[in-house]
Amino acid sequence: MRELRLTRLGCGTASIGNHRVPLTDGEAAEILDAAWDAGIRHFDTAPHYGLGLSEWRLGQFLAGKPRDEYAVSTKVGRLLEPNPAGAGALDDEDFVVPAAYRRVWDFSAAGVRRSLEESLGRLGLDRVDVLYLHDPERWDLDRGLADGLPALVQLREEGLATAIGIGSMGTEALVAAARSGVADLLMVAGRYTLADQSGAAELLDACRANGVGIVAAAVFNGGLLAEPLTASSTFDYRPAPGAVVARARRIAEVCESFGVPLRAAALAYPLLEPVVRAVVVGANNPDQVRQNAADLALDVPQGMWERLRAEGLVA
């Protein structure tokens, strides 16, 4: 198997698929340029992001870049089928793109292979570094893993993916994949963060026992840890419960007492755990990319983590 090299900070590319905010091709390229200039060589995408737009824009950007200098992860489980009736409407899953395609769940061996082949076409690549089953719990977890994981194993054996696993916000799905005996890497979205370690003990134990690595995504929990905390703060892109905001506010107070911005602490926290290989963060503009890189480079005092643990604010 090829060596899997991931930079500690990865670039999530839902935003260049027009997630909630429309971007031009030029604006998307500026975000990716800023990531490359910041030393980021790990890019995560999916067909789901903008109905293939994210993959296409990432492929345009990577064209001509030395293939051994970067790692790309994408996902399978949602096939894109033509939807002529939707061409005049917008996608209804938070991406500001024409609904010219519709997503169809398919974790079968044929569906997984077709999804990857179509992704490789958009990306302009002959292989990916990491291939994840995407949100199997949102369809049928047992069937998704039973059908999808063996399909990923076959693609890994053929050299079309260096590492395989699942990407999910669901702890049950992530633990099951870690215990499957075939996963190399899990993308843990929003469930191992400074604000949310729900199920982390079981998940980390399963990963350690089975030699599975973690890529921590959505480490700002959909806004909560990325912006000044207010009563209107969001958690997983929805209004945050008052108790969640209050806890995050106390975390922020401890961090600030050590001179560490909350955003920087949110980026650094998952990487304290040895099984975490990288954090992946998206951005809506180049300045956010540069800020993320600068925040992760900050020196965070060990005493801050000790204080947070002593107050029961983190595991």
Cβ proximity of 282 and 13 under 8 Å: yes
Q: Is 49 a catalytic residue?
A: yes
Segments in the chain forming alpha helices (H): 25-37, 53-62, 109-123, 141-157, 171-178, 200-210, 242-257, 262-268, 286-296, 302-310
What is the distance between the alpha carbons of residues 195 and 226, in angstroms, rounded to a whole number?
Answer: 11
What is the distance between the alpha carbons of residues 94 and 181, in angstroms, rounded to a whole number?
Answer: 34
Helix axes 25-37, 286-296, angle to 10 degrees: 20
What is the distance between the alpha carbons of residues 314 and 198, in angstroms, rounded to a whole number?
Answer: 10
Residues 127, 128, 134, 136, Cα dihedral to 10°: 60
What is the distance between the alpha carbons of residues 226 and 234, in angstroms, rounded to a whole number?
Answer: 10
Cβ proximity of 190 and 217 under 8 Å: yes
What is the distance between the alpha carbons of residues 147 and 313, in angstroms, rounded to a whole number?
Answer: 39
What is the distance between the alpha carbons of residues 92 and 123, in angstroms, rounded to a whole number?
Answer: 24
SS3 129: strand
Strands 71-76 and 42-44: what pairing? parallel
Residue from 49, 132, 192, 269 carrying the catalytic annotation: 49
What are the residue numbers of the active site? Answer: 49
